[in-house]
């Protein structure tokens, strides 16, 4: 079928807004159409929030919206404790997490394993984490997300062959997300600094424009994928007809 399996059989692109720090911004993200809200538990991040603050945000979310706890390094027990205090049922792992730790956490939580497209990144490496969704971000020597830098989109597209669910992150904003979706055809997109007026302060108009751009890109990619599938099927039928007539 190609065309990323006809754009994953026309499933909608999910939208994750990361680095949310307060209830008001979380509710705006949901009202505007986000399906996932990222809450940062890395103390070195300018978007870090305490687990009890995160709990207030989680309690304000509707049941069909997923709160994602973002963690950098650490062990399974520390992550489990923080996640349970905050009330998140999905954890996103950046840094030095082994497949064994991811597998252990996957018994309790939905797990998103984050990778960066640095020089040594290999798309097939994501297959070491079969229990996880995969998020691909831009490489930064010190920061873990929210850098505003784009990643290697061709490398992200290549991971589609090795992961069941791929989230594209890294420098996305209302101006480039449509091009990113067209280039990668991810299952979901993740935005942080691209919809902020300051670190941890969301710009609601930018969120609205970002989500509108995602939906526009979806329609265009779906239309292109459908057209290409029809052309491919017509070509196949033509080949069959030619073979039959030559008998």
Q: Which residues are catalytic?
A: 18, 137
Q: Which of 210, 224, 152, 149 is nearest to 182 (CA)?
A: 224
Hunting for tokens 């873990």 — which residue is that?
Answer: 144
> Residue-wise over 120-139: b if at least 16 C-beta within 10 A, else e?
ebebeebeebeebbbbbbbb
Q: Classify strands 201-202 and 196-198 as parallel, antiparallel or unpaired.
A: antiparallel
Residue 58 to residue 195: CA distance in whole angstroms = 20
Helix (H) or strand (E) holding 14: strand 14-17
Look up residue 95 and give its DSSP letter: S
Residue 177 to residue 168: CA distance in whole angstroms = 10
CB atoms within 10 A of CB 30: 17
Helical residues (DSSP H) of 19-116, grouped into ranges = 23-32, 51-60, 76-86, 99-105
């Amino acid at each position: 079928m190609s065309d990323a399996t006809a754009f994953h059989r026309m499933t909608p692109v999910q939208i994750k807004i990361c680095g949310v720090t307060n209830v008001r911004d979380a509710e705006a993200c949901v009202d505007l159409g986000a399906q996932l809200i990222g809450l940062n538990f890395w103390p070195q991040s300018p978007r870090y929030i305490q687990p009890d603050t995160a709990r207030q945000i989680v309690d304000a979310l509707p049941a069909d919206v997923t709160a994602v706890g973002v963690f950098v390094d650490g062990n399974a027990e520390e992550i489990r404790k923080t996640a349970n205090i905050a009330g998140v049922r999905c954890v996103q792992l950046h840094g030095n997490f082994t497949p064994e730790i991811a597998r252990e956490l996957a018994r309790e939580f939905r797990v998103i394993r984050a990778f960066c497209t640095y020089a040594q990144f290999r798309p097939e490496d994501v297959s070491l984490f079969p229990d996880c969704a995969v998020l691909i971000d831009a490489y930064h020597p010190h920061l873990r997300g929210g850098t505003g830098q784009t990643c290697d989109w061709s490398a992200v597209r290549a991971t589609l062959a090795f992961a069941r669910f791929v989230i594209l992150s890294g420098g996305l904003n209302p101006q480039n997300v449509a091009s990113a979706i067209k280039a990668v055809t991810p299952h979901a997109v993740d935005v942080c600094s691209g919809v902020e007026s300051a670190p941890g302060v969301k710009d609601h108009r930018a969120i609205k424009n970002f989500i509108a751009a995602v939906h526009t890109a979806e329609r265009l990619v779906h239309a292109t994928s459908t057209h290409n599938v029809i052309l491919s099927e017509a070509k196949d039928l033509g080949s069959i007809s030619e073979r039959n007539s030559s008998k």
